[in-house]
Amino acid sequence: MDALEIYIDGNWVKPDGAREMAIINPADERQIGRVALGSAADVDRAVAAARRAFDAWSTTTRAERLEALRRIVDGFRARLPELARLMTMEMGVPITFSTERQATVALFHFEEAIRVLETYEFERAEPTGIIRREPIGVCGMITPWNWPLNQMASKIAPALATGCTMVLKPSEIAPLSARALAEIIDAAGVPPGVFNLVQGDGPTVGEAIASHPEVDMVSITGSAGAGIRVAKLAADTIKRVAQELGGKSANILLPDADMAKAVAAGVHACNTNAGQNCQSPTRMLVPRANRDEAIAAARGAIDTIVLGDPMDPKTTMGPLVSQSQFDKVQALIASGIDEGATLVAGGPGRPAAANAGYFVRPTVFADVTPDMRIAREEIFGPVLSMMFYDSEGEAVAIANDTPFGLAGFVQSPDPERARKIANRIRAGRVYYNGAPFDRSLPFGGYKQSGNGREFGLAGFEEYLETKALVGFTA
């Protein structure tokens, strides 16, 4: 299960002066392989290859790029069970979820790029000239471990479709699925240099990409701290920066909602992927009059979660990805207790049946106030903060009292009432009554959740520059 080579200019090569790091299965803490970490010199080689490939790839026809994307889709579908298994092994996501969600939503991004590319107008005539959209150039991509294939595909697919070339740095914690995706792109016949993969850590490879003078755009999905660092490094060369960063999303249950049903759905949404989601509804806002009912419903929902071996199809929640992530979540659970929140379910420590692995007890706190750490910090684990409000205005104020603004959630049988609340939430997305995660609509945040948008048409256009051809006619 090793990932000891990087992919540059159509070839698998050894990194320059490679350091190695163990790949750990988070379910049992055993080493399953090794990953070789690249260097700034490797980034230089990859960027040079992408720059050489840009002139030819950027001038390919729509039909040529569509054909390449369709070959990637075919290769992805053929290897989907393997891709799901790799993600389960490297990051602990249950195999059923890995197959039905993690792998399939990644595939969707390539299908969506095809859909947009088929009809996209790269030129539009105006009375005094033409507005032309052109590929931005060489793109640096930095992706995380929590939805590894999904986040890679959401950047690679539109970049390929628009005619850009790229250098990808996946998370060194989850490199196996990244290598498999690179193999699929290679087998699809994408020309050498168009796509390049350099595994490595953020301070070395990530920073080399962000600061590289020959990189025209950098797209990062990660923590707010990582996004800030990338933006500062990119500033010297004034490159475009697209960021999808952290979240602390509020889930507002309006008084007319089916409280038991809405609470149960909110608990399960918070615990999806072991809570390792940037837009998880981790703050549940409940009318104060419904406090006791909501607490009882939350306990009942937690009892239905099945922790265990991620390879077991019956498991619904696996471990966290790493020891450091486990330690961070444990510290935040302890802070909730210390600061006086009411522990409704879960709590510190591993589940009783877990002798190994980075398993965390799915946890719910009630009576959480906006000043507590668990209400303000992105926990990135299965921890829900239940907060109570007395008026809809107070609910909106609590929802917006955060440095983040990635998503929001509103529950009510009255769409007009819910829409008024949704319009007031300062976030890039607001979901109504458990609507599914649509990847054709824009995804991105307000405030410290980042800038720019991914998915669908909006994500496609992130990789395009705008040129005005003045005095020309169509």
Six token digits for residue 148: 């590894």
Residue 75: pLDDT over 90? yes
Output phi, psi for 130, to 5 deg: -130, 135
Q: Are strands 165-169 and 195-197 parallel, antiparallel or unpaired?
A: parallel
Query: Which residues, 6 or more positions from 221, have their beta carbon under 8 angstroms from its beta carbon?
Result: 142, 143, 144, 151, 154, 155, 243, 244, 245, 278
Residue 18: pLDDT over 80? no
Q: Which residue ranges form the domains of the chain, and what is each CATH number?
A: 6-245+448-470 (3.40.605.10), 250-438 (3.40.309.10)
Cα separation values, 174 from 89, 93, 109, 401, Å: 9, 12, 20, 33
Catalytic residue list: 244, 278
Could you tell me where the DSSP H helices lie in 163-223? 176-187, 207-211
Name 3's bridge partners: 35
Measured distance CA(341)–CA(337) in Å, rounded:
6
What are 301-319's pLDDT values in tens digits?
999 999 999 999 999 999 9
Residue 17: predicted pLDDT: 79
What are 412-427's pLDDT values in tens digits?
999 999 999 999 999 9
pLDDT confidence band for 352 (50 / 70 / 90) = confident
DSSP letters, 212-236, are -TT--EEEEES-HHHHHHHHHHHHT
What are 193-246's pLDDT values in tens digits?
999 999 999 999 999 999 999 999 999 999 999 999 999 999 999 999 999 999
Question: Which residue's structure tokens are 């937690």?
Answer: 302
pTM passes above 0.85: yes
